[in-house]
Amino acid sequence: MYLTAREISALLPGRFSMLMGLQAESFHRLERLFALRMRAPGIYMSDVGDGMNVHLELRERHAYTLELELTYAFHDPDTGRRAPEAQIRMYTDARLAEALHCHPGRGRWDVLDLRAPPPLILRHRLRMASFLSRWLEFLDAHGHAPHTLVAVSAHHDEPLPA
C-alpha cells in the first residue's frame, strides 16, 4: 500500500509545530548549558579551552522573559560586526527560546521586506531556530556548561573577582 502526498503530509508535523518544537528544545538547551534563570543581567564568558570562547550577554530580565545575546565575538572582516551572533528571547513561562535574529547587526526586517508574506516569515524563523538549535547542540558537545560560564567586565574578557 502506498500513501498519497496528502496522507504523507498529514503524518508529518507542520512548520509551525516544528518551530515550536525547536524553540522548546533551545530553551531546555540554554537552561542546561548556562542556567540563565538564576543569573543576574551582565556579560559572561564560557571557556572550555578550545580557543573559541562563548560570550553571553544577559541584557534584560523580566517576570516572564529573558533577553540575551550569544556570540563567539569573531569579527566579520566585511562588516566589522561580531559573527556568529544570535539575539534570543527566552519565555520562562512557556519554556520557549525564540531566536530574534541570527545575522550580525541585522534585524528581521533587514532580511525580510515589511510586507513579507507569512509563509516567508515562518520559513525565516524556522531557519533561525534551526541554526540556534544546532549551535547550542555544538556548544553542549564541546563541554560548555554552567560551571564554565563566568562573569566578565564589560571592556575586557577577564573574569571579575569573586
Strand order in the sheet with 65-75: 96-101, 82-91, 65-75, 54-61, 42-46, 149-151
User: What is the largest distance, in Å, between two alpha-carbon atoms of the chain?
Assistant: 68
**pLDDT tens for the 162 residues of the chain, in order:** 676 767 656 655 688 889 999 999 999 999 999 999 889 999 999 999 998 899 999 999 999 999 999 998 777 777 777 767 899 999 999 999 999 987 644 544 456 667 888 888 888 899 999 999 999 999 999 999 999 999 997 655 555 555
Q: Beta strands of 62-120 (E only): which ranges?
A: 65-75, 82-91, 96-101
- pTM above 0.85? no
- CA 129 to each of CA 17, 24, 90, 108, 162: distance values in angstroms, whole numbers, following the listed order: 12, 10, 12, 13, 35
The whole-angstrom distance between residue 14's C-alpha and the CA centroid of its chain comes to 22
Domain borders along the chain are: 13-107+114-151
The phi-psi region of residue 46 (left if phi > 0; otherwise alpha if psi is between -120 and 50; otherwise beta) is: beta
Half-sphere exposure of 129 (CA within 13 A, CB side): 23
In three-state secondary structure terms, 7 is: helix
